[in-house]
Amino acid sequence: MPDRFATQSVHAGEERRKPYGAVTTPIVQASTYTFSNTAEIVAFMQRKEAGEPPLRDEYGRYGNPTQRAAERKIAALEGAEEALLFASGMAAITTTLLALLSRGDHVVLTAGVYRRSAEFARDYLPRWGVESTVVPIDDPTALAAALRPSTRLILAETPTNPYLRVLDLERTAALALQHGILTAVDSTFATPINLRPLAYGFDLVFHSATKYLGGHNDLLAGAVIGSRALLGRIAAARGVLGGVGGPHDAYLLLRGMKTLALRVQRQNETALRMATFLEKHPAVQRVYYPGLPSHPDHEVARRQLAGFGGVVSFEVDGDLEATGRFVDRLQVPYVGPTLGGVESIVQQQALFISLDPEKRRAAGLADNLVRYAVGLEDAEDLIADLEQALAGI
């Protein structure tokens, strides 16, 4: 199979000849898979106990044919040996951490990781005797200083939400390799089209497949991608913890990924045009977009990303109430908490954290910050809509 992204998005991971001659991979809506006889069970168990890939399914919590097709496609897009599908991105992250960490271990997080990932490390991992440290995303000296003999994992996100900070993956991976530490990165905002972290030496990649991979705001799924050896340990934990993705979501995910390359390319182009427009507007104080030279990580982004992504964050010239009026004046995007779909979605992110101003400040989110996740609408329409809304501040 050719390895260009558009071709992989359409064909990778799926059987060329499908049941009934169908062009799409079917939904196998089954929880239980039967065996013809005892000999077939023995042969199945021999492969399973030898650690060999299964040739068939046993029970829905351990896998599903539709799910496996989605996993193969994600692995191909990331240039990886394997991928595992989960019920959500957080299920992928928490299951991986529980599978790879033990009492007495230490994990380092770079600042800006998804707040629920940080919450799990801060509030839940200590219950099992696992400690964590948070370091700045752009300070390799602080990262090196945070490492301990007990450090087992560096967990990062790039680009981050909502300020779109970009981690130097190559430098981080080299440091981790020097100390024998595993590396994992949440690459949801980048997608495999803009970034393949494994090519920079990272061990594991996470995606909230709910976002760009699905692309239509109609499914919930997550994935972890990496080597067969590492994912074998995580798959065993998934079977115990039960966070497996369902066949219908897997089918929707397969459908969504067929247009991934086209969608991300369009969102890259529109977001860069929008960020350039916003940076010049007098009613905008600051724009956060790694494709702009004004972004603190622009040089790293240019070196590392094939595209700068479909999210633009910016601070309008106003307070909490004025920013809310601006959001309410927008006519094209929906107001909501997600991203990556064909519909543009905007949010005043501070309000999704707390109505308490002290809690918002503690979270590092300005009251006038807006996160705009670009969809597939015409760029001229989105920019004209921004212009009329900004005029009302």
Q: Just list the catalytic residues.
A: 61, 114, 186, 211
3-state secondary structure of 209: coil
Helix (H), strand (E) at residue 297? none
Residue ranges with strand state E in 38-170: 82-86, 106-110, 131-135, 151-157
List the 131-135 sheet strands across, edge first: 82-86, 222-226, 204-207, 182-186, 151-157, 106-110, 131-135
Helix (H), strand (E) at residue 345? strand 345-347
DSSP state letter for 87: S
3-state secondary structure of 129: coil
Residue 35 tokens, joined: 């065996």
Cβ proximity of 226 and 82 under 8 Å = yes
Residue 130 tokens, joined: 């696992």
How far apart CA 165 and CA 152 sit, in angstroms, is: 24
Scan for tokens 């650690």, then name that residue: 51
| Amino acid symbol at 60 | G
Cβ proximity of 190 and 164 under 8 Å = no
Handedness of CA 353, 221, 216, 288 (dihedral sign): positive
List the 369-373 sheet strands across, edge first: 284-288, 311-316, 369-373, 345-347, 334-335
